[in-house]
């Protein structure tokens, strides 16, 4: 099969850090163009709008949409209507309805839609999932605490309504949780802390349970300086299982498990190529649904203003 002719849309941090090297390392793809209002990619045709790109490069088969979530739906809609396969960065949209609309449209037009969740491809996640299939968790505790000034300096969109705030990294934890848990979980109560000058939360505390009563506690905080924490700990009758550093390290009952090297984005592109070849879509909205539920049910507390 000839390579899939791919274009990148929204050339910013994640496009440069992860998408470009992963595409370059995957022979199933040929990067042929980019569309971005300001950013450009060396060595390929660059455009300031997707429409101009599609008009002048009709050979494009697929697009990777790397702009912030509030601006992704219109681009995805336009790309699917133009008959292109679509890779959506996480979160797949600003609302659940948007993602459902894209799913229907992709089915109608016969193109592949991929709602990517990069953290699900972290090295320890599949081993953790199989362990929890046979050793049902008795409780789960997630601590996802990082320094927003380090990871998201001057990213205004992330603080605007629809930008998700601390759920932008927190949804990665929820994407792992929803993948590894043997039973669905629900939010029972939540507390969201909003800086009084911002539209998105800086911290969140979620109390969840499964239908059979397994408690899941999720702590998200963007005010952590010093050591950064992205850990998921589950207690089971066969001992404690700890997924650390976003899923890149794993211990079971105190013993470190040997894992392959980190390859989240190369794995995402392998998956996208398979979806396109097999004319399938993969759109799991469970992580975004939990974020929506947190906003629906959460008690709001206003805290001191945040300045970058």
The residues of the shown chain that bind ligand NAP, judged by CB under 6 A, are: 10-14, 36-39, 66-69, 71, 89-90, 118, 155, 157, 168
Shortest CB 229 distance to ligand NAP, Å: 17
Q: With left for phi above 0 and alpha for psi between -120 and 50, is residue 126 left, alpha or beta? A: alpha
- The smaller minimum CB distance to ligand NAP, of residues 39 and 195, is found at 39
- The smaller minimum CB distance to ligand NAP, of residues 155 and 210, is found at 155
What's the CA gap between 83 and 193, in Å, rounded?
42
Q: At what angle do helices 167-180 and 125-134 cross, to 10 degrees?
A: 40
Closest-approach residue to ligand NAP (CB): 12
Q: With left for phi above 0 and alpha for psi between -120 and 50, is residue 196 left, alpha or beta? A: alpha
Shortest CB 249 distance to ligand NAP, Å: 19
What's the CA gap between 86 and 97, in Å, rounded?
17
- The smaller minimum CB distance to ligand NAP, of residues 25 and 184, is found at 25
CB 219 within 8 A of CB 233: no
The 3-class secondary structure across 89-143, one letter per residue, is CCCCCCCHHHHHHHHHHHHHHCCCEEECCHHHHCCCHHHHHHHHHHCCEEEEEEE
- The smaller minimum CB distance to ligand NAP, of residues 24 and 301, is found at 24
Shortest CB 271 distance to ligand NAP, Å: 15
Catalytic residue list contains 129: no
Task: Please name which of 9, 20, 10, 71 lies closest in space to residue 42, comparing C-alpha atoms.
Answer: 20
Shortest CB 185 distance to ligand NAP, Å: 22
Q: Cβ of 218: how many Cβ atoms within 10 Å?
A: 24
What's the CA gap between 137 and 181, in Å, rounded?
8
Shortest CB 134 distance to ligand NAP, Å: 31
Catalytic residue among 13, 30, 90, 277: 90
Rg (Cα) of the chain, in Å, rounded? 20
- The smaller minimum CB distance to ligand NAP, of residues 90 and 179, is found at 90
Task: Please name which of 169, 156, 161 lies closest in space to residue 222, comparing C-alpha atoms.
Answer: 169
- The smaller minimum CB distance to ligand NAP, of residues 10 and 201, is found at 10
What's the CA gap between 170 and 161, in Å, rounded?
16
Shortest CB 63 distance to ligand NAP, Å: 13
CB 282 within 8 A of CB 90: no
What residues are annotated to the active site?
90
């Amino acid at each position: 099969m000839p390579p899939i002719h791919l274009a990148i849309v929204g050339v910013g941090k994640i496009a440069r850090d992860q998408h470009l090297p992963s595409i370059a390392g995957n022979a199933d793809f040929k990067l042929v163009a980019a569309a971005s209002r300001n950013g450009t990619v060396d060595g390929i045709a660059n455009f300031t709008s997707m429409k101009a790109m599609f008009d002048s490069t009709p050979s494009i088969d697929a697009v990777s949409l790397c702009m912030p979530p509030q601006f992704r739906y219109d681009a995805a809609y336009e790309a699917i209507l133009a008959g292109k396969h679509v890779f959506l960065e996480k979160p797949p949209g600003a609302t659940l309805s948007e993602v459902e609309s894209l799913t229907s449209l992709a089915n109608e037009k016969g193109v592949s839609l991929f709602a990517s969740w990069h953290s699900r491809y972290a090295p320890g996640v599949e081993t953790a999932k199989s362990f929890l299939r046979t050793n049902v968790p008795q409780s789960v505790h997630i601590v996802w605490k990082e320094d927003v000034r380090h990871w998201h300096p001057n990213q205004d969109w992330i603080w605007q309504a629809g930008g998700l705030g601390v759920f932008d990294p927190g949804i990665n934890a929820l994407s792992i949780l929803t993948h590894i848990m043997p039973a669905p979980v629900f939010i029972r109560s939540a507390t969201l802390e909003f800086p009084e000058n911002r539209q998105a939360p800086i911290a969140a505390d979620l109390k969840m349970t499964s239908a059979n009563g397994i408690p899941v506690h999720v702590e998200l905080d963007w005010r952590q300086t010093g050591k950064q924490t992205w850990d998921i700990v589950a207690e089971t009758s066969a001992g404690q299982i700890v997924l650390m550093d976003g899923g890149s390290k794993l211990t079971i009952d105190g013993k470190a498990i040997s894992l392959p090297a980190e390859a989240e984005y190369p794995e995402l592109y392998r998956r996208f190529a398979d979806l396109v070849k097999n004319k399938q879509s993969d759109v799991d909205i469970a992580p975004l649904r939990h974020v929506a539920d947190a906003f629906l049910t959460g008690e709001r507390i206003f805290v001191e203003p945040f300045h970058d």
